Amino acid sequence: MLKFTEDHEWLKLEGDVATVGITTHATELLGDVVFVQLPDLGTKLNKGDGAAVVESVKAASDVYAPLAGEVVEINQAIVDDPATVNADPQGKGWFFKLKLADVAAMDGLMDEASYMKHIG
């Protein structure tokens, strides 16, 4: 099951590793993504740290670490072809995988129904 943040990130948990991306709604706000900068492997992030940068034709936006953890995998495919983020934001367009410091913290995030309500 996907979890969501108010800042339009989604997380999918497998074991203690969460895959993180930006939501379909976020890509609609951004428009065409033309550049993505991802964190280095092994980066330890606190919740709220700037983790990635996504640039569209319109603006640059920061992607924040939704929870604390260590970056254990990054999606080079979206760096090589940023349009992947628009084409499949909640699938092939994932950003990075985070080994969570505290898996239970996932419970504090929104489920899909709450997120849909949040974006109205």
Partner 1 sequence: MKTEQAATADQALKRTPLHALHLELGARMVPFVGYDMPVQYPAGVLKEHLHTRAAASLFDVSHMGQIALRARPGALKAAAEALERLLPADIAGLKPGRMRYSFFTNGQGGILDDLMVANGGDHLLLIVNAARKQEDEAHLAAEIAKDCSVERQERALIALQGPEAEATLARLVPDCMGLRFLEARRLNIMGAPCLVMRSGYTGEDGFEISTPADIAREIAEELLADAAVAPAGLGARDSLRLEAGLPLYGSDIDEATSPIEAGLAWAIPRPRRKGGAREGGFPGARIILDQLERGAPRARVGLRPAGEGPEARAIVRAGAPLYAEAEANAAIGSVTSGGFGPSLDGPVALGYVPAAFALPGSRVFAELRGKRLPLTVVALPFIMPRYKRS
Q: Which residues make up the interface to partner 1 (CB under 8 A)?
A: 7-9, 22, 26, 29-32, 34-35, 37, 53-55, 57-64, 79-80, 82
Print burial letters for 105-116: b (CB count within 10 Å at least 16), e (below 16).
bbeebbeeeebe
Q: Choose between 57 and 116: whose C-beta lies nearer to partner 1.
A: 57
CB of 113 to partner 1, least distance (A): 20
Closest distance of CB 83 from partner 1, Å:
9
Nearest CB to partner 1, comparing residues 35 and 102:
35
Q: How far is CA 81 from CA 4, 29, 34, 77, 111, in A?
A: 24, 19, 8, 6, 29
